[in-house]
Structure 1
């Protein structure tokens, strides 16, 4: 079959049989290369647009303070994001505080609404616990069970929020290494031996009744010696004087380094 060339020839090349087969194979391979990749699940982060589910999981804490006649019950509810995926996480969503005492109803309601709004805003909300724990009552604070000092009722609510965040994994408490625990145990045993040695039992001249004043004092309800003072680091009444140095029997803090 003759082909008429109407344009000027600028160059030429010999077409081989394999060159004809290559363009034919290219269109067949194109559909395979154009196959879309599988979509990955979108990771949902906490933000204001997240709608409240019908059911939330949470925890309730009881606060018994000498500043209030009745106890406070703090309930913190969490939302579960990305449920059933490797990115699943619990984030605090709302907080409620209930009590029989209605004297402080206004500021309690205001506090719960502001905290809930911060929870739903998203981001790092762990700062709330530290800010609330730094609130001091001008009338003075109190010691809760365990010898921990609370400067105000707001500070104890902050401590409850911090404990809840630790429970769900938002805050990780630095673990004490084995050497520090061993050192604290040794210091506590040495202090108890020194206390017993400083107050030996005295036999009464009348009968064989021992003088109760000479007996070593029993540990306080917190588990630390009665003469212990407040530790500035862990806020616990566990600071004792040993070898001329103030040492905490709870966290190991020492003013001598």
Structure 2
């Protein structure tokens, strides 16, 4: 395409490819600039948000039989759109402390990767599923309450899941009144049938104070040793799962 120049040429310069890229980058607004332009609109989590001086944190204790000393998982949250109806609390960083130095390397690597995912924005709840699917080749263990943990990483994932439920990132559908009534009815019937044996044996107690028979097996749905056989059908006394429907 020919362009006719009607004025006298006084000088010229050659535009290089890197000059075009720089000019394009300057024209493209950054997320921070977009937020300032939008003003009162909702601010979502992204990697350009700077860390505030003060963050809200929660610390959880993990005591695994696979390690000598306990682990303390600290998750710090950032509050977005504070004081508005769109206020959000999102995890920003995670730290794991322990007296044991046996797992120091992979713990540092894991926490840095998790913190980077948190700060990246978007849906970070997938970390829970990925971590809870990690199995220890030496075998897992049962934590307090009879809940099976296939590895230490899986228990850390369970802690992250509990924290996300607390801040509203994960919504766990609770049992309705009819399901709770059915579970209580099943437990009462089982205890009435096996009362003499239950008095002679120790009881498995959960962290919430709920007891299950020592002969109970693990439920594949809630990973709790609460499955008993009632009327020829395996039934979980914790979540109500039954193979018979």
TM-score by shorter chain over 0.5: yes
Following the alignment from structure 2 to structure 1, what is the Cα–Cα distance between the partners of residues 202 and 230?
18
State the Cα RMSD in Å: 1.4
**1:130 Cα offset (Å):** 1.1
CA contact (8 A) 2:82 2:88 kept: yes
Greater Rg, structure 1 or structure 2?
1
Following the alignment from structure 2 to structure 1, what is the Cα–Cα distance between the partners of residues 66 and 81?
42
SS for the counterpart of 2:205 is coil
SS for the counterpart of 2:94 is strand
SS for the counterpart of 2:212 is coil
Following the alignment from structure 1 to structure 2, what is the Cα–Cα distance between the partners of residues 82 and 250?
38
Q: Does 1:234 align with 2:222?
A: yes
- Unpaired runs of 5+ in structure 1? 1-38, 200-213
**1:146 Cα offset (Å):** 1.0
Equivalent residue number for residue 156 of structure 2: 157
Equivalent residue number for residue 78 of structure 1: 77
The 5 Å alignment of 1:173-252 reads 173-196=172-195, 199=197, 215-222=199-206, 223-252=211-240
SS for the counterpart of 1:92 is strand
Equivalent residue number for residue 146 of structure 1: 145
Equivalent residue number for residue 28 of structure 1: none
Equivalent residue number for residue 204 of structure 1: none
Q: 1:244 to 1:90 in 2, by over 3 A?
A: same
Equivalent residue number for residue 23 of structure 1: none
Following the alignment from structure 2 to structure 1, what is the Cα–Cα distance between the partners of residues 243 and 201?
25
| TM-score, length basis structure 2 | 0.81
**1:42 Cα offset (Å):** 2.5
Equivalent residue number for residue 166 of structure 1: 165
Following the alignment from structure 1 to structure 2, what is the Cα–Cα distance between the partners of residues 230 and 196?
21
Following the alignment from structure 1 to structure 2, what is the Cα–Cα distance between the partners of residues 215 and 123?
52
Following the alignment from structure 2 to structure 1, what is the Cα–Cα distance between the partners of residues 151 and 83?
40
Following the alignment from structure 2 to structure 1, what is the Cα–Cα distance between the partners of residues 99 and 78?
28
Equivalent residue number for residue 6 of structure 1: none
CA contact (8 A) 2:145 2:204 kept: no
CA contact (8 A) 1:147 1:236 kept: yes
Equivalent residue number for residue 243 of structure 2: 255
CA contact (8 A) 1:195 1:216 kept: no
Q: Does 1:104 align with 2:88?
A: no
SS for the counterpart of 1:98 is strand
Q: Deviations over 1:182-225 (max 9, x none)?
A: 1111111111111126x5xxxxxxxxxxxxxx954242223111
| TM-score, length basis structure 1 | 0.77
**1:173 Cα offset (Å):** 1.0
